[in-house]
């Protein structure tokens, strides 16, 4: 009887030893020790270094995306998922998703609009930073400039008739009431940069004069504000509006597409603002996001976008695009980024008050 008991006890000890051994991780991996919290599969590698996916939030023009995205996918083998909206809307979305980022890259918007939200982005400097012109350096450490964007007006040549449009002042013509396309500055970086442009030109000596102009302009909008930057050139090209306040990249896209439009560089002065790309903090596809930033700042890509899309490069070794005015041909306004960052929210609040009071 004792012998049977001893054999049973020995068998139990062997089984217990085997069970304990299997619960101990080996050098090649294995189940976690008892009491160790195991991660769910989707939490194990939030940066997903082996991923072949990239989620890009962007307000870029469709024909720009049609060139850039396939080039990137072909070069890297990474599949890009695109989410489009105005930059203001995208920044709000990124802020709301901070606990669980659903996007990897925010591409588009100007430095003056993105910089106040730089806490939403991952520190990263492109491997091409040394080839960047000095006014486009990533001084913040997280905001990469990939093209230079003059603010412009876009005019429908079939609708303009005898109305003269050379600058902001001409937009106050009563004949244009309700026929001016302007994107909501709270949702569109282009709309906000045009507010900045007006304050730096018409309001250069006295900002109150700038706001008086903006008040008159909002009256002439006829109660219409568009929800995104891209809606402006579309509205002008489709003949819904006679003139729109946009930027050169979107305007030149409408010209290339054969729309009956022409670009006007405001005689009061033109803010030339850098377009940007930035990695969303905590991006799940971090390595692919870095590849995308490096790709947008590469000589090959910026040469392609200059030749095919008339985009002004930020590299010092890529010539100005053909078919567009050289910066020497219009009055360039130097952007004061610190002043813009300090006043962005106040300007948005002021514009809302001015617009709603009309």
Kindly list the structural domains of the chain, giving each domain's residue range(s) and its CATH number in brackets, ordered by start.
45-148+274-325 (3.40.190.10), 149-272+334-357 (3.40.190.10)
- Can you tell me whether residue 322 is helix, strand or coil? coil
The rounded Cα 85 to chain-centroid distance in angstroms is: 9
Quote the tokens at residue 134: 């000095």
Half-sphere exposure of 57 (CA within 13 A, CB side): 24
Of 85-94, 180-189, 199-208, 330-339, the one with minimum mean pLDDT is 330-339
Averaged pLDDT for residues 151-166: 97
Per-residue confidence band for 48, with pLDDT thresholds at 50, 70 and 90: low
Helix (H) / strand (E) containing 145: strand 144-156
Locate the DSSP E strands across 231-357.
Answer: 243-247, 261-264, 270-279, 312-313, 332-333
Averaged pLDDT for residues 130-140: 91
Give the integer Cα–Cα distance in Å for 201 and 216. 16
> Radius of gyration of the chain from Cα atoms?
27
Q: Could you tell me which residue, 269 or 24, shows the higher pLDDT? A: 269
Per-residue confidence band for 201, with pLDDT thresholds at 50, 70 and 90: very high
pLDDT at 112: 82
Give the integer Cα–Cα distance in Å for 212 and 305. 39
Quote the tokens at residue 45: 């590698």
For residue 9, give Cα distances in angstroms to 5, 17, 21, 31, 155.
Answer: 6, 12, 18, 27, 93
Give the integer Cα–Cα distance in Å for 91 and 85. 10
pLDDT at 36 over 50: no
List all residues 6 or more positions away from 37 whose beta carbon is below 8 Å from its beta carbon.
none
Q: Are 84 and 58 in contact (CB under 8 A)?
A: yes
pLDDT at 182 over 60: yes
pLDDT at 256 over 60: yes
Longest dimension (CA), the chain: 116
Give the integer Cα–Cα distance in Å for 276 and 345. 20
């Amino acid at each position: 009887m004792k012998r049977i008991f001893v054999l049973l006890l020995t068998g139990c000890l062997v089984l217990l030893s085997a069970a304990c051994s299997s619960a101990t991780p080996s050098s090649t991996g294995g189940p976690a020790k008892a009491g160790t919290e195991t991660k769910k599969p989707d939490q194990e590698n939030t940066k997903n270094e082996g991923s072949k996916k990239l989620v890009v939030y962007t307000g870029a023009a469709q024909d720009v995306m049609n060139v850039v995205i396939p080039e990137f996918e072909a070069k890297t083998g990474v599949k890009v998922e695109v989410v489009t909206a105005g930059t203001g809307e995208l920044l709000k979305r990124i802020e709301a998703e901070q606990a669980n980022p659903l996007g990897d890259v925010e591409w588009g918007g100007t430095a003056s609009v993105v910089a106040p939200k730089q806490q939403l982005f991952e520190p990263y400097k492109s491997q091409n930073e040394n080839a960047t012109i000095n006014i486009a350096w990533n001084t913040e450490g997280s905001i990469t400039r990939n093209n230079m964007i003059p603010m412009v007006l876009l005019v429908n040549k079939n609708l303009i008739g005898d109305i003269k449009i050379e600058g902001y002042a001409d937009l106050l013509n009563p004949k244009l009431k309700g026929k001016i396309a302007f994107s909501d500055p709270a949702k569109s970086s282009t709309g906000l940069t045009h507010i900045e442009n007006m304050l730096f030109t018409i309001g250069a000596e006295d900002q109150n004069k700038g706001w008086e102009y903006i008040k008159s302009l909002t009256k002439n909008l006829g109660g219409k504000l568009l929800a995104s930057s891209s809606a402006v050139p579309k509205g002008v090209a489709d003949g819904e509006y006679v003139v729109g306040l946009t930027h050169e990249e979107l305007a030149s896209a409408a010209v290339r597409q054969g729309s009956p439009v022409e670009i006007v560089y405001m005689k009061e002065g033109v803010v030339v603002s850098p377009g940007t790309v930035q990695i969303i903090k905590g991006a799940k596809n971090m390595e692919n996001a870095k590849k995308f930033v490096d790709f947008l700042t590469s000589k090959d890509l910026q040469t392609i976008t200059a030749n095919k899309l008339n985009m002004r490069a930020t590299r010092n070794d890529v010539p100005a695009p053909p078919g567009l005015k050289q910066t020497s041909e219009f009055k360039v306004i130097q952007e004061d980024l610190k002043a813009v960052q300090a006043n962005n929210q106040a300007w948005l609040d002021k514009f809302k008050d001015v617009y709603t009071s009309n």
